[in-house]
Amino acid sequence: MPAQHPTPYDDGELYDSLFDSHHDDLPYWLAFAREGRGPFLDLACGTGRVLMPLLEAGLDGDGLDASKAMLARCSVKARETGKSPALVQGDMCEFRMPRKYARIFCAFNAFAHVLETDAQIAALACVREHLSENGAFAIDLGFPRPEVWSAKPDQRVLEGEFTHPSRPTRLYLFDRRRMDPLAQTQHSQIEIEERDLHGGLLRTHVSHTVLRWTHKLELELLFRAAGYRRWEIHSGFEREPLTPAAQQMIAVAWR
Ligand SMILES: C[S@@+](CC[C@H](N)C(=O)[O-])C[C@H]1O[C@@H](n2cnc3c(N)ncnc32)[C@H](O)[C@@H]1O
């Protein structure tokens, strides 16, 4: 998508009105960061949905993200809670942080924004360089259901409905997708409608994004190519085994 198109990450407040209340993954990331017994890096930290609760739990961590707007929102939240993590604007495929980390993670499908294989390997290698000796990296990545791959393109699908956290409105998230099975990509036009409680449309935020979906064997090859020595891949935050019906991978790779 040309760079001038709005992205879902141009408005940190809007992102938080949809997702800041998504807490299902927080216990997993908290335990993962805690078991490192050292600093953590939240790669593609966005508005700090995961980073902030971990800092508030007393852990020492930093965040990196490509979006200035998402980081701006994150830094307001950090200031409000008296935390001062390093928040760096950068590309996960070529970043430099001033210290190493016991744990690095990339939550909520953020790795799917890396579209090319070379860039995926570069990101994993760059992460590895930032891990301390026994450090580990984790990602969670969804798998589109089989029917998503075969669906008619450009259908407007309602992905979720949300109550606005601070206004008497409802938010409706629609995705109009076009799948490319060869490139393993999903080209989405995302429409977020904000409606009053009578259903009247107040505003619509339209953005575009491309996601690259990665499968288990491919992810293992990527870890291998980037120099990791071992990894585990589960299908959920309770470390459930990966089965053919899985819709998500939680992968941990050790430096
Ligand atoms: C779905 S959001 C996830 C944010 C956060 N990890 C969370 O769990 O709420 C994806 C994030 O990835 C960031 N992102 C996309 N491509 C990136 C890149 N190449 N390098 C760093 N961040 C990137 C976006 O700016 C956005 O904040």
pLDDT digits over 153-191, tens only? Answer: 999 999 999 999 999 999 999 999 999 999 999 999 999
* Amino acid present at 215: H
What is the reported pLDDT for 90? 98
* Residue among 9, 43, 106 whose CB has most ligand 1 atoms within 8 A, to mutate: 9
Closest ligand 1 atom to 109 CA: 1
The reported pTM is: 0.96
Query: pLDDT tens digits for the chain (255 residues)?
Result: 445 689 999 999 999 999 999 999 999 999 999 999 999 999 999 999 999 999 999 999 999 999 999 999 999 999 999 999 999 999 999 999 999 999 999 999 999 999 999 999 999 999 999 999 999 999 999 988 888 899 999 999 999 999 999 999 999 999 999 999 999 999 999 999 999 999 999 999 999 999 999 999 999 999 999 999 999 999 999 999 999 888 999 999 999
User: Which residue blocks in 142-186 are alpha helix, DSSP H?
Assistant: 146-150
User: Which residue blocks in 22-131 are alpha helix, DSSP H?
Assistant: 26-35, 51-56, 68-80, 117-129
162, 171 Cβ separation under 8 angstroms: yes
What is the Å distance from ligand 1's center to 148 Cα?
22
CA distance 94 to 58: 29
Domains in the chain (CATH in brackets) are 12-143+214-254 (3.40.50.150), 146-212 (2.20.25)
What is the Å distance from ligand 1's center to 91 Cα?
9
What is the Å distance from ligand 1's center to 145 Cα?
22
Longest dimension (CA), the chain: 57
